[in-house]
Amino acid sequence: MPSHRSRYDTAQSMGAALLPQQRSNAGILSRAGWSGRFAAQLAAAFLAYYIAGKLGQATTNIRSSNLGPVWPAFGIALAAFLAYGPRIWPAITASAFAVAFSSPVPALAAAGQAVGASVAAFAGATLLRRIPHFDPSLSKLRDAIGLIVIGAFGSATISASIGVWSLFVTHVQAYSGLPSAWLIYWLGDSTGVLLVTPLVFSFPTLFEIRSRARAAEAAALLTLLAIACFMIFGDMPFFSVRLHVLAFAVLPLVMWAAINFGIAGASLSVFIIATIATLTTALGLGPFAAHSPFTNAVLLDVLFAILALTGLTMAAVITERSRAESERAQLVREQSALQARLQLATIVESSDDAIYSKDLEGNLLNWNRAAERIFGYTSSEVVGRPNSILFPTELVDEEEALFDRLKAGERVERHDTVRVTKGGVRIDISLTMSPLTDAAGTLIGASMIARDTSDHRRVQHALSSVNQKLIHAQEEERARIARELHDDIGQRLALLAGNIADSAVLSGSPGASNRAATLHRVVSEIASDVQSLSHQLHPAKLEFLGLTSAVRGFCDDLAQQKNVIVDFVTARPDTRLREDLSLCFFRVVQEALHNAVKHSRATRFEVELWESKGDLHLQVSDCGQGFDVTEAKTSHGLGLVSMEERLKLVHGNLFVDSAPGRGTRIHARAPLILS
């Protein structure tokens, strides 16, 4: 009993770590469970054989002694050995003896028939199991032919020989002699296998029909089959024409069942035909009731055998072809998927980016050539090893934090990640992490795409350095021009205005005095404008009074010049700040307000200046027409870029919130003290 032995071995290995008493209890429970299942199997096999045997004995009119044309019990016996193995023999032998002994035969003959049924069914099941991958549901033509040749005709030869011999030695006469008895015995057991055994294994598949159309078709088929059988085999009293010659007219219905419902449909249809034909013949009706019992039995068995052979083989061929087509389609899909994977693998290997993956425990699963080039580790050095072996602890912790976000369903992108190569070189990495799932969609890891951005970062630093130098040069040039305007041109204009006033006084002429007054006014306005321009280029208030006063003065001047309202709100004291920080924020205010007045079409603007948590904050906002931030940064204008570059000089950031139709908010932030 192999299954008993395997369960015993499993329980023995699992119990190695248990206490002796626990192992004993586990063994008792295991043996009790196995014994319960085995007892249920014995009882099921005994009852099934007994019921089938009693049904076979019910047609006494066409039986002789203990023999009849169809013996469904032998089909049950073969199915039991195929399902439960050789250990089921006690149930089959006992049930076969009980059925045979209940008929008018001696106990020795009943015992011989029981032994013959058990030995034949055991031999048939053993030989069928030798067919590679034999399936009792007959999903292949090879399995159907095996059941027909070995399970039906072959094993029935054994049961018929032993059974007839046991009847002969006990002087039981059946039909017209020993050859006739053997033929009926053999045909009865053979048709029993053909009718019952496939139905036992395939009948549950009929309950898998979910489509209403298929269920309706099955019901229509069975209804037509029953009507046809009663018309042909039942000699219906309301139907005067006898259709005895149309006994094989039910074959198209069997073929219909085989084509559309497979082995289960074919087996069930032939079983229904056999049941109705046998019962009506036993009642003296139909085309097989007009001859001797022997002839009637042979004709019935031949009809059932032909119908069963046709239905089973056709259903097996169709099932095998359908499975072959399905397997071919699956193979095509697998080949397509394999080709896609190969193409993907080629793309991965030829990529300039490092592509690798990890499982949920952080162990590396694969590593492409670009990863070898960027990080310096070969595939054999990293695959199967944890991430902590490759990178410093703090960097692993950083990536694990990203990995936790990925587990939560996020797709993670990082553009400022630092990694260390095998040679100890720190490189900048742009990292993208995506979920890695199995066929069921369960998260099993993460795939990473890492791009070495060190060269790009160096170019950015170089450009930023150039921009910073340009800004410094611009501020120096502005200061120089402001000094020239204020100290030279401004003073010379003031001197010219004074000389014009003196000339008007000395001339004494009213006309000359008016012209001189006009010239004096014009020159004074030019001098005032020059002074204002010099303050914008290099505000003196910023240098002597501080950022708050300088921003307030600029807002007032701009409001007066452009005829707009500029609200300046601040709560910080006018304390002195670093010169670079004050100049940066003043330029941001200038640039932001000039752009707002020029482009927003608003008439009211708000400027806020405050300190928070060691940072200086500046916000310029309006309720104007707004703009597309991305488009503005990529256009030819330098306003936003200039502000961003200025803030980078003081380690600050610029945040722009705007959209067409909803105004603009520009927020600058920078640390008050550089660390």
Residue 153 pLDDT: 92
Distance CA 419, CA 424 (A): 9
| pLDDT given at position 619 | 94
Instruction: Compute the average pLDDT of residues 402-418.
Output: 68
**Average confidence (pLDDT) over 174-192:** 84
52 vs 633: which has the higher pLDDT: 52
Average pLDDT score over residue span 372-391: 78
8 A C-beta contact, residue 385 and residue 409: no
pLDDT at 9: 41
pLDDT of residue 614: 87
pLDDT tens for each residue of 602-624: 999 999 999 988 899 999 999 99
Model confidence at 402, pLDDT cuts 50, 70, 90, reads: low
CA atoms within 13 A on the CB side of 152: 29
Domain 351-452: which CATH number of 3.10.110.10, 3.30.450.20, 3.40.50.2000, 3.20.20.70: 3.30.450.20
The count of other CB atoms within 10 Å of the CB of residue 397 is: 11
Q: Say how far apart CA 518 and CA 648 lie, in whole Å.
A: 49
Beta-bridge partner residues of 67:
64
**In the predicted model, what is the mean pLDDT of residues 142-158?**
91
Name the percent of the chain lying above pLDDT 70.
Answer: 74
pLDDT: which is higher, 220 or 441? 220
Amino acid at 174: A
Span 111-134, average pLDDT: 92
Per-residue pLDDT tens for 202-256?
888 888 888 889 889 999 999 998 888 888 887 765 555 455 657 788 889 899 9
The pTM is what? 0.53
**Averaged over 93-98, what is the pLDDT?**
92
Give the pLDDT confidence score for residue 121 in this predicted structure: 93
Q: At what angle do helices 20-57 and 2-14 cross, to 10 degrees?
A: 160
Average pLDDT of the residues in 593-600:
89
Lowest-confidence segment of 81-90, 127-136, 224-233 by average pLDDT: 224-233
DSSP for 336-373 reads HHHHHHHHHHHHHHH-SSEEEEEETTSBEEEE-HHHHH
Q: How sure is the predictor about 531, in pLDDT bands with cuts at 50, 70 and 90? A: low
User: Under a CB-based contact definition with an 8 Å cutoff, are residues 143 and 316 in contact?
Assistant: yes
Tens of pLDDT along 5-46?
333 343 333 334 334 444 455 455 456 666 788 889 999 999
Mean pLDDT of the chain: 79
The arithmetic mean of pLDDT across residues 656-673, rounded, is 90
The whole-number pLDDT of residue 3 equals: 37
Least confident of 196-205, 330-339, 539-548, 621-630: 539-548
Its sign, for the CA torsion 151, 157, 163, 164, is: positive
pLDDT at 338: 81
Predicted pLDDT of residue 467:
60
Q: Would you say residue 674 has pLDDT above 80?
A: no
> What's the rounded mean pLDDT across residues 400-424?
68
User: b/e map of 403-426 (b: 16 or more CB within 10 Å)?
Assistant: beebeeeeebeeeebebebeeeee
Domain definitions of the chain by residue range: 28-323, 351-452, 456-538, 540-675
Q: What is the DSSP letter of 439?
A: T
CA distance 621 to 607: 7
- How far is the CA of 421 from the CAs of 261, 385, 394, in angstroms? 65, 16, 15
What pLDDT sits at residue 18? 34
Half-sphere exposure (Cβ direction) of 51: Cα atoms closer than 13 Å? 8
The reported pLDDT for the residue numbered 637 is 56
pLDDT bucket at 461, cuts 50 / 70 / 90: low
- Give residue 507's pLDDT: 57
pLDDT in tens, 278-328: 888 878 887 777 777 778 788 888 888 888 899 889 988 988 888 888 888
Fold held by 540-675: Heat Shock Protein 90 (3.30.565)
Burial 436-447 (b: 16+ CB within 10 A, else e): beeeeeeeebbb
CA distances from 488 to 96, 474, 484, 495 (A): 132, 20, 5, 11
Tokens of 200: 């036992």
In tens, the pLDDT along 415-428 reads: 666 666 777 777 77
Q: How far is CA 493 from the centre of its chain?
A: 81
